[in-house]
Chain A
Amino acid sequence: TQLLEQSPQFLSIQEGENLTVYCNSSSVFSSLQWYRQEPGEGPVLLVTVVTGGEVKKLKRLTFQFGDARKDSSLHITAAQPGDTGLYLCRAGGGADGLTFGKGTHLIIQP
């Protein structure tokens, strides 16, 4: 099972600021997904990245897959209170050997 480390564990910033959170491993991934989870709800898929160096944008969110496919980052521009939540990464493909990171708890203060 691949071990995923997410950092920072907690992040609290003011509305309008930029931020980056990370998902790292010593293993090479075939794919990586990012999810956002709001309190009391299930995680919602944001994006899947599969190619080393790949960059995907979802409005103010930019996702990057590392060239060696061992790490990924999520950058949020001009954060808004609606971005508040737990951001989870999940790596691999299929159920065997897959794992979720413990997540980054993000709070955007108005």
Chain B
Amino acid sequence: SQTIHQWPATLVQPVGSPLSLECTVEGTSNPNLYWYRQAAGRGLQLLFYSVGIGQISSEVPQNLSASRPQDRQFILSSKKLLLSDSGFYLCAWSFTDYEQYFGPGTRLTVT
């Protein structure tokens, strides 16, 4: 069966500091991978998606970036965090165009 991991679970970072969130998937090959941010009252916002190693599509302009160095690894990064980057970050994978399967999320607070 497939499982998806995210870490860390929670993170408190000062404004201007770097960020690295990691997501890994087990039990499947060549999945589509996604990063979402969920802020209160705004629903799930798609940030990045990837259909293969090194292939990243960005949905919204921001100071975040994503990379996929390995087939089942997806990383979300920032060089300098902003207060507005606070939120709940979710990684998801899909094997078809229909369903997505989410990780447990990372709660990021920028202070």
Taking the nearest CB of chain B, how far is it from the CB of A70, in angstroms? 17
Interface residues as binary, A33-47 with B (CB distance below 8 Å gives 1, 0 otherwise): 101000011111100
Q: Main secondary structure on chain A at its contact with chain B? A: loop
- Given the complex, which residues of A lie within 8 Å of B46, measured CB to CB? 95, 98-99
Q: Which of A17-25, A57-65, A100-108 faces chain B? A: A100-108
User: Closest A-chain residue to B4, C-beta based?
Assistant: A42
Q: Does B111 contact A (CB under 8 A)?
A: no
Q: Is the CB of A50 within 8 A of B98?
A: yes
User: Is the CB–CB distance between A95 and B34 below 8 Å?
Assistant: yes
- The stretch from B63-71, B79-87, B100-108 touching chain A is B100-108
Q: Can you name the residue of chain B whose Cβ is closest to the Cβ of A44?
A: B102
Minimum distance in angstroms from A80 CB to a CB of chain B? 23
CB distance from A37 to the nearest CB of B (A): 8
- Inter-subunit contact B99/A45 (CB<8 Å): yes
Which range holds the interface residue count of chain A? 20 to 34
> Are B104 and A42 in contact, with the CB atoms below 8 A?
yes
- What total of A-B pairs shows CB separation below 8 Å? 47
Verify B99–A42 contact, CB threshold 8 A.
no
Q: Is B15 an interface residue (CB 8 A)?
A: no
Q: Are A102 and B99 interface neighbours, CB within 8 A?
A: no
Q: Which residue of A lies closest to B38 (CB)?
A: A37
Q: How far is the CB of A43 from chain B (nearest CB, A)?
A: 5
B17 touches A (CB below 8 Å)? no
Binding site for B on A (CB under 8 A): 31, 33, 35, 40-45, 48, 50, 88, 90, 93-95, 98-103
